[in-house]
Amino acid sequence: MKEEVKVFAPATVANVSCGFDVLGFCLSPIGDTVIVRKKEQPGVVITKIVGQDLPLDTKKNVAGVAAEALLEDLQSNQGFEIEIHKGIKAGSGIGSSAASSAGAVFGINALLGNPYTRNELIKFAMKGEELASGTPHADNVSPALLGGFTIVRCGKGPDVISIPTPPDLYATIIHPKIELKTADARSVLKKNIPLDKAIQQWGNLAALVSGLFKADYELIGRSLVDVIIEPERAGLIPQFDAVKLAAKNAGGLGSGISGSGPSIYTLSKGKENAENVRTAIAEVFAPLQIEFDTYVSKINTQGVAIID
């Protein structure tokens, strides 16, 4: 059996417009690379983190917490070393913590001969999310582990369903390099929702999921509307409305806040539209004194994967 694996753990978009806290999808070009190695002594150690200043302490790093949750559940004494090469900046809103958690548990599971399915690994990766944000949410770790689009029906358990990905669907991401704390993005949210808004929201979510099943790009575009969370949060992200408009005019199906921001995602039919959206939104940001990155990604239907 193998002693070491190298895993690519992809970035993800959660809070997909009307699917706040339940719908997410997986990206391909960006992610963490996590190397997991067996060691003789029991326990988990994080030996190295490249690319960002994050804690090596197993109890303070999401990868360590997720790995220990798996080993405890399995009652395994096998020890592991974890090395994390960060490709995603923490706090960018595209699932940085989820990628490290998913990569660690996927690598350990592979080295142990896959005692758990990908779906079963979600509950361990969620422990990492609990460390990062205070709640064990599954909306980023699910698409990271399963690929494609996922619905988290219920956070406890959890009950996660994979949704088909239309073959020609692409995402464009802009990550403005400003700090937006998840806690601050949460604090602007109202606790109660008017019934008329709730009805619009669940109508849109049901239609969006139908659009994904039917590969109906028009329907996907019409349904990518968030009447509850986005109006509260849009003001926290510079140029949000201008980016949305530019993306639409450039041929995008629809845009929204990725995670709790500051990244913004746009879905498009076809790579050409997705690239045109990238150019258009970069033009919106170019005159500002804010650094930014942009990415174009086919929806990654594979999820976390062994690369070596």
Binder among 19, 24, 31, 93 for ligand ADP (CB under 6 A):
93
The smaller minimum CB distance to ligand ADP, of residues 61 and 165, is found at 61
The reply to whether 68 belongs to the active site is no
The reply to whether 129 belongs to the active site is yes
Q: Give the C-alpha separation, 79 to 38, whole Å.
A: 6
Residues between 109 and 168 that touch ligand ADP (CB under 6 A)? 132-133
Residues between 38 and 67 that touch ligand ADP (CB under 6 A)? 54, 61-63
DSSP, res 66: H
Q: Give the C-alpha separation, 119 to 199, whole Å.
A: 30
> Which of the following is catalytic: 129, 165, 230, 266?
129
Q: Give the C-alpha separation, 187 to 39, whole Å.
A: 43
Q: Does 91 bind ligand ADP (CB under 6 A)?
A: yes
Radius of gyration of the chain (CA): 19
> Which of the following is catalytic: 4, 58, 120, 182?
182
Cα–Cα distances (Å) from 141 to 10, 88, 150, 195, in that order, read 10, 14, 10, 30
The closest alpha carbon to 18, from 199, 164, 279, 285, belongs to 199
Q: Does 84 bind ligand ADP (CB under 6 A)?
A: yes
Whether the Cβ atoms of residue 243 and residue 264 lie closer than 8 Å to each other: yes
Q: Please list, in sequence order, all residues whose beta carbon lies within 8 angstroms of the beta carbon of residue 122, skipping any fewer than 6 positions away.
A: 138, 141, 142, 145, 146, 158, 160
The size of the interface with ligand ADP (CB under 6 A), counted in residues, is: 18
Q: How far is the CB of 267 from ligand ADP (least distance, A)?
A: 19
Residues between 198 and 257 that touch ligand ADP (CB under 6 A)? none
Q: How far is the CB of 192 from ligand ADP (least distance, A)?
A: 25
The smaller minimum CB distance to ligand ADP, of residues 105 and 132, is found at 132
Name the residues that contact ligand ADP, by CB under 6 A: 54, 61-63, 84, 90-93, 95-98, 100, 132-133, 182, 259
Q: Which residues are catalytic?
A: 129, 182
